[in-house]
Amino acid sequence: MSKHILVDGLFIYPTPIGCYYAVSSLIDDDARNFINQLLKQPRTPVLDINTLKGLMNVESEKDAIELLHYCQKKGWVQGVKDSIESPTGLLDKILPSLLDNISETGNVLLSDAQGFHLACSGFTNEIAEQLSAISAEIETIHKRRIDMLVNNLTIDSHAWAIVDAFGSSQLGFWPLFIGNSQFVITISGIPHFNRPDFVTLIWALSTRYQQI
Amino acid sequence: MLQSFSLFETENEISPAFIESDQNFMVEKVLWTTTIKENNDLYTQIVFKVLRNPNHLMSHIQRIYVAYTWKMNAPLYAALIDLLLVLDGKGKQLSNRMIFMTRSLLSDQQYQILTEYLKTQKTDLLPENKFTVLTKGLVGSPVLLVEENT
């Protein structure tokens, strides 16, 4: 018989894919809630059973271990040896360099659901404003058609893209659902959500826009 | 017969092929696109090919070929890292050949990292860069729970 035990001396930190999972949909599930709780913390929490139970909002040790095991299997969480503090400072100071690192071309824009751009890398101001407006319009269309997309076509992604003849994205729009706020990341070319900077970006937004 | 001085030399002359080709590493054309703004367009198409089917080795070779030919240092290093991750310790001859023959374009540090990996096969010794697409972006250990027999 075997049982799972926690590794000593680690702090829990979401992975880029875990962050993407957490903020790419509004559907409520235990794993998504757990990662979102991690992203609300001002620093990476220590890996112990009581902390886990609190973050996961579960009573039993068994449930906490099972959920952590599931997240580990999915590659959504990782353990770091030293605690990391959430990004501090003004968003408009820290966001542009983070955005730059999640795209190959460096052309990235972060805007809100109303079509106002919050931070930008690479695009000119004028283009950024136009793209922010487009992203808001796409979001309106998506909301209007989401039932058909999910129920009839079983497409549960919220992202939209302008594609070339091969179906490759020339310009992509990825909504981020953070607390009650919604943002859109617009990327020209190949997106790199697999970068550690994506975690920092989501953490920076979550600590400011998610209610604890 | 293969020539030792060139990475992609073959005994037969190979015509440059379209990006969709899975037979030829030497892709130079993008069908359906009337204008190619710059080399980056072709490189981008190949990276999307790698993303769509990460286990398709020909796409990796095409990516390395394009990055090497156009002297794109950071993308070349990223292409090699992504290839090594997909091979996961297998295909040692292919890995060796790709690294040793692109050495002229790699920095000393990049070359050292890649050759060290060939010896140890430890993926945590493979630092990613901005252009890697198959890395997971981990800064810690993926293992938080271990199994213990009781």
Residues B40-56: pLDDT tens digits?
Answer: 778 888 999 999 999 99
Q: Which residues of B touch A78 (CB under 8 A)?
A: 138-142, 144
Q: A15 vs A28, which has greater pLDDT?
A: A15
Q: What is the pLDDT of residue B90?
A: 93
Is the domain of A75 the same as that of A103?
Answer: no
DSSP A143-195: HHHHHIIIIIT------EEEE-TTS-EEEEEEEEEETTEEEEEEEES-B-TTS
Interchain CB contact of B130 with A (< 8 Å): yes
Report CB contact under 8 Å: A5, B145.
yes
| CATH, residue A171 | 3.30.450.30
- Domain span holding position A71: 11-80
Rounded (10°) angle between helices A30-40 and A61-74: 90
Nearest CA in chain B to A67: B145
Give the mean pLDDT of chain A. Answer: 93
Q: Is residue A97 a part of any domain in this protein? A: yes
Nearest CA of chain A to the CA of B40: how many Å? 10
- CA-wise closest residue to B40 among B9, B81, B71, B61: B71
Report CB contact under 8 Å: B148, A3.
yes
pLDDT at A57 over 50: yes
Model ipTM value: 0.88
pLDDT at A10 over 80: yes
- The total domain count for chain A is 2
Q: Is residue B12 a part of any domain in this protein? A: no
Is the domain of A97 the same as that of A193?
Answer: yes
Q: Is residue B40 a part of any domain in this protein? A: yes
Q: Which residues of B touch A69 (CB under 8 A)?
A: 145
Q: What is the pLDDT of residue B45?
A: 86
Q: What is the pLDDT of residue A165?
A: 79
Is the domain of A54 the same as that of A109?
Answer: no
Q: Which residues of B touch A195 (CB under 8 A)?
A: 128, 130, 137
Report CB contact under 8 Å: A195, B32.
no
Q: What is the pLDDT of residue B32?
A: 58
Q: Is residue A85 a part of any domain in this protein? A: no
Q: B33 vs B58, which has greater pLDDT?
A: B58
Is the domain of A108 the same as that of A205?
Answer: yes
The domain boundary residue, chosen from A80, A109, A140: A80
B21 phi/psi in degrees, rounded to 5: -60, 135
The domain boundary residue, chosen from A50, A80, A110: A80
Task: Name beta bridge partners: A4.
Answer: B147
**pTM for this entry:** 0.89
Q: What share of chain A is helix, strand, coil (3-state, %, to 5)?
A: 45, 25, 35
pLDDT, average across residues A159-167? 88
pLDDT, average across residues A100-119? 92
Report CB contact under 8 Å: A198, B137.
yes
Is the domain of A55 the same as that of A96?
Answer: no
| Rounded CA separation B82/B96 (Å) | 14
Alpha-carbon distances, residue A26 vs A31, A33, A166, A176, A192 (angstroms): 12, 10, 30, 9, 22
A139 phi/psi in degrees, rounded to 5: -65, -40
The domain boundary residue, chosen from A80, A106, A134: A80
Q: B27 vs A44, which has greater pLDDT?
A: A44
Is the domain of A64 the same as that of A145?
Answer: no
Is the domain of A193 the same as that of A112?
Answer: yes
Kindly state the tokens that stand for A204: 């920076």
Hey, how many other C-beta atoms are within 10 angstroms of the C-beta on B20? 13
Report CB contact under 8 Å: B144, A198.
no
pLDDT at B33 over 70: no
| Rounded CA separation A199/A182 (Å) | 17
Q: What is the pLDDT of residue A205?
A: 95
- Domain span holding position B105: 17-125
Task: Name beta bridge partners: B144.
Answer: none
Q: Is residue B85 a part of any domain in this protein? A: yes
Report CB contact under 8 Å: A77, B144.
yes
Instruction: Tell me what percent of the residues of chain B surpass a pLDDT of 90.
Output: 55
Q: Is residue A173 a part of any domain in this protein? A: yes
Is the domain of A61 the same as that of A161?
Answer: no
Report CB contact under 8 Å: B33, A165.
yes
Q: Is residue B3 a part of any domain in this protein? A: no
Q: Is residue B113 a part of any domain in this protein? A: yes
Q: What is the pLDDT of residue A15?
A: 97
Is the domain of A112 the same as that of A74?
Answer: no
| Rounded CA separation B25/A162 (Å) | 28
Alpha-carbon distances, residue A46 vs A54, A85, B140 (angstroms): 12, 12, 14
Contact (Cβ atoms closer than 8 angstroms) between residue A170 and residue A162: yes
Contact (Cβ atoms closer than 8 angstroms) between residue A106 and residue A121: yes
- The total domain count for chain B is 1
Q: B90 vs B4, which has greater pLDDT?
A: B90
| Rounded CA separation A158/A183 (Å) | 12
Q: What is the pLDDT of residue B2?
A: 45
pLDDT at A13 over 50: yes
Q: Residue window 37-96, chain B: list those with CB within 8 Å of chain A.
A: 40, 44-45, 47-48, 51
